[in-house]
Amino acid sequence: MGGFIMSKVVMITGAAQGIGAEIADHLSKNGFDVAIADLEPQASKAKEVIAKIEENGQKAIFVPVDVTDQTDVASAIDTVAKELNGFDVMVNNAGIAKVDKFEDIDPKDLELSFKVNVFGVAYGIQAAAKKFKELSIHGKIINASSIAGMRAFPVWATYSATKAAVSSLTQAAANEFAPDHITVNAYAPGVVGTTGMWDEIDKKMSEINGKPIGQNKKDFISTIPLGRTVKPNDIANIVDFLASSAADFITGQTYAVDGGGLL
């Protein structure tokens, strides 16, 4: 008689599209039931991700959440733990990228960027750690940083600062939650050219420096030693690892996945 293997449960923010959706697909292939946590208007995109996860033989739900709202994030995690009957891994992936010349940085963009990229990650870490403790789970928390948080590029000050803050939150939380065997790590992608994010970045950079649409992206790609953009699959691979027991003794780290772009 075949043994019954319990599925693990992951919640991934910003998973209705892009890198988050790819992470959801990978983790479901590794036996995770998945909560796709994203803004309410992303519900129909989330349905497509859920359909793929179900094809992989796992359960999936959509949890509407705005990561800038601390209460919303905590109640989303409560819902996930109840509906999927457990909670093992939190991926704080949601993020936005605002690009501007330093002198032109708009306070509203600065505020929203910090609210989504930094407050959102802090709230996700807090609520996940509380739930892991409540359930006595040695959980794993995985956050989205960026190579922009390791080296600040011109006209990316706001975004770079938020992503540097993610690495710092990752280290601090790793230290604080180590006694509970909760690990906290981060991934730092280079240019992932196929998600919506780079279309906006390229358009805004072209308004700033007058290069034709597509040129700024090409210029970035030309600096990557391994000769191509990062694929969402490359990021999902490291998240697979960080979410697995193979990474039990790793905490507080931020991993660049950038084809050598920062070399």
Question: What are the catalytic residues?
Answer: 159
- Beta bridge mates, 11: 35, 90
- Rule CB under 6 A: choose which of 11, 12, 14, 50 binds ligand NAI: 14
Residue 131: phi and psi, rounded to 5, are -65, -40
Question: Per the structure block, which two tokens stand in for 117?
Answer: 């990229």
Residue 144, contacted partner among ligand CC(=O)C(C)=O, ligand NAI, none, CB below 5-8 A by kind = ligand NAI
Question: Per the structure block, which two tokens stand in for 13?
Answer: 């923010």
| 22/177 Cα distance (integer angstroms) | 28
Shortest Å, Cβ 212 to ligand NAI: 20
Shortest Å, Cβ 191 to ligand CC(=O)C(C)=O: 4
Shortest Å, Cβ 162 to ligand NAI: 8
Angle at 73 between CA 181 and CA 15, to 5 degrees: 90
Binding site for ligand CC(=O)C(C)=O (CB under 6 A): 97, 146-148, 190-191, 197, 201
Interaction mask 57-76, ligand NAI, x per CB under 6 A = --------xxxx--------
For residue 15, CA distances in Å to 86, 133, 146, 159, 210 come to 19, 25, 17, 20, 33
Residues of this chain that interact with ligand NAI (CB under 6 A) are: 13-14, 16-20, 38-39, 42, 65-68, 93-97, 116, 144, 146, 189, 191-192, 195-198
